[in-house]
């Protein structure tokens, strides 16, 4: 599949031509949830990543490593299926939120109190619920379009998400975001995840269409996201200066050719070392990358 398939014209021409088989052929709640677990693994397995935990290093984190993430990921498998089922059943926001809070408790039990995936529980959970709703409402033939997921999310839970975003956060990232006037995780959700749908998914689709390997396309996408996201983890750890440093660094990487550029991996490794020295970790960007990998799996691109 190519990037043009993410426009209506592209979708029509692909439907007319011989179409690649979607990776998730029947989008049952089980398949939707499985794609979420695989997408979290896609993100974890990406190396290098600035300041983030990978399979081979802990980035800027003293309290967690790849094992912590794997335990967390396994503890969440049932959650993503359950929340997709809830979306399929037309559940209201309070049901989804309860499901998310239970999943957070399960994650914290699996990691002995370490926050590995709070943002992913929220973001990917909502997306799985939206996919559950699409699978019930849509009679469309062939691969789904990312816009369908976004439309359904807004239509069903947009008003509740807006109300949710006005609650005062008690989390370090949420507190930093409010203090600095940034758009935190819940505002991003209330707007229908603009960075995911307008930056991350197009960047990943474009990278793959241009022949980058999945690893390089994901690396490129991570930097595109870091350049524009108000990542509250960066703000919490490094203040506004830390967030702006991360955004400027990401923009320079992209302007220099991104992951397709000569020496891109060495440059990304250098940036990873700089982030560790500064104790910066773009956790919100990592979740957004995982969400983009999930959208690609759901829409039939691995």
Ligand X SMILES: CC(C)(COP(=O)(O)OP(=O)(O)OC[C@H]1O[C@@H](n2cnc3c(N)ncnc32)[C@H](O[C@H]2O[C@H](COP(=O)(O)OP(=O)(O)OP(=O)(O)O)[C@@H](O)[C@H]2O)[C@@H]1O)C(O)C(=O)NCCC(=O)NCCS
From candidates 37, 199, 221, 233, binder to ligand X by CB under 6 A = 233
| Minimum CB distance to ligand ADE, residue 58 (Å) | 8
| Minimum CB distance to ligand X, residue 39 (Å) | 13
From candidates 101, 163, 241, 277, binder to ligand X by CB under 6 A = 101
How far apart are the C-alpha atoms of 177 and 184, rounded to whole Å?
Answer: 6
| Minimum CB distance to ligand ADE, residue 89 (Å) | 28
Stretch near ligand X under the rule CB under 6 A, chosen from 12-20, 98-106, 248-256, 266-274: 98-106
Residue 5 contact partner, candidates ligand ADE, ligand X, none, CB within 5 to 8 A by sort of partner: none
Residue indicated by tokens 């970790």? 281
Residue 221 contact partner, candidates ligand X, ligand ADE, none, CB within 5 to 8 A by sort of partner: none
Stretch near ligand X under the rule CB under 6 A, chosen from 84-92, 113-121, 240-248, 253-261: 113-121
Q: Are 285 and 222 in contact (CB under 8 A)?
A: yes
How far apart are the C-alpha atoms of 240 and 299, rounded to whole Å?
Answer: 36
Q: Which tokens sit at 45?
A: 């397995």
Residue indicated by tokens 């703000």? 235
- Phi-psi region at 263: left, alpha or beta (left = phi > 0; alpha = psi -120 to 50): left
Residue 125 contact partner, candidates ligand ADE, ligand X, none, CB within 5 to 8 A by sort of partner: ligand X
Q: Which of residues 154-183 bind ligand X (CB under 6 A)?
A: 169, 171-174, 177, 183
Three-class DSSP labels, 254-288: HHCCHHHCCCHHHHHHHHHHHHHHHCCCCHHHHHH
In terms of CB distance, is 24 or 44 closer to ligand X? 44
Asked if 287 interacts with ligand X (CB under 6 A), we say yes
Chain residues binding ligand ADE by CB under 6 A are 43-44, 52-53, 59, 61, 281, 283, 286-287
In terms of CB distance, is 32 or 64 closer to ligand ADE? 64
Residue 44 contact partner, candidates ligand X, ligand ADE, none, CB within 5 to 8 A by sort of partner: ligand ADE
In terms of CB distance, is 23 or 93 closer to ligand X? 93
In terms of CB distance, is 53 or 84 closer to ligand ADE? 53
Task: Return the closest-CA partner of residue 6 out of 142, 184, 144.
Answer: 144
In terms of CB distance, is 11 or 225 closer to ligand ADE? 225
Interface residues with ligand X (CB under 6 A)?
Answer: 96-97, 100-101, 104, 115-123, 125-126, 169, 171-174, 177, 183-186, 188, 229-233, 236-237, 281, 283-284, 287
């Amino acid at each position: 599949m190519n990037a043009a398939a993410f426009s209506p014209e592209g979708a029509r021409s692909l439907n007319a031509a011989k179409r690649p088989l979607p990776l998730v052929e029947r989008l049952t709640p089980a398949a939707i949830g499985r794609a979420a677990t695989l997408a979290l693994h896609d993100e974890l397995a990406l190396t290098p990543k600035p300041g983030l935990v990978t399979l081979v290093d802990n980035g800027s984190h003293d309290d967690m490593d790849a094992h912590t993430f794997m335990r967390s990921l396994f503890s969440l498998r049932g959650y993503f299926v359950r929340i997709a089922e809830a979306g399929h059943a037309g559940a209201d926001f309070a049901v989804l939120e309860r499901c998310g809070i239970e999943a957070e408790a399960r994650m914290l039990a699996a990691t002995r109190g370490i926050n590995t995936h709070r943002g992913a529980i929220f973001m990917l959970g909502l997306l799985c619920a939206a996919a559950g709703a699409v699978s019930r409402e849509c009679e469309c033939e062939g691969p789904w379009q990312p816009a369908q997921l976004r439309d359904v999310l807004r239509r069903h839970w947009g008003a509740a998400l807006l109300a949710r975003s006005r609650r005062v956060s008690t989390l370090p990232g949420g507190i930093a975001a409010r203090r600095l006037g940034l758009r935190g995780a819940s505002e991003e959700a209330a707007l229908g995840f603009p960075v995911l749908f307008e930056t991350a998914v197009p960047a990943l689709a474009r990278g793959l269409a241009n022949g980058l390997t999945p690893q390089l396309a994901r690396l490129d996408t991570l930097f595109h996201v870091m350049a524009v996201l108000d990542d509250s983890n960066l703000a919490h750890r490094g203040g506004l200066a830390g967030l702006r440093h991360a955004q400027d660094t990401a923009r320079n990487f992209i302007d220099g050719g991104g992951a397709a550029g000569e020496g891109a991996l060495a440059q990304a490794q250098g940036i990873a070392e700089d982030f560790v020295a500064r104790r910066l970790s773009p956790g919100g960007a990592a979740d957004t990358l995982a969400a983009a990998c999930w959208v690609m799996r759901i829409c039939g691109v691995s």
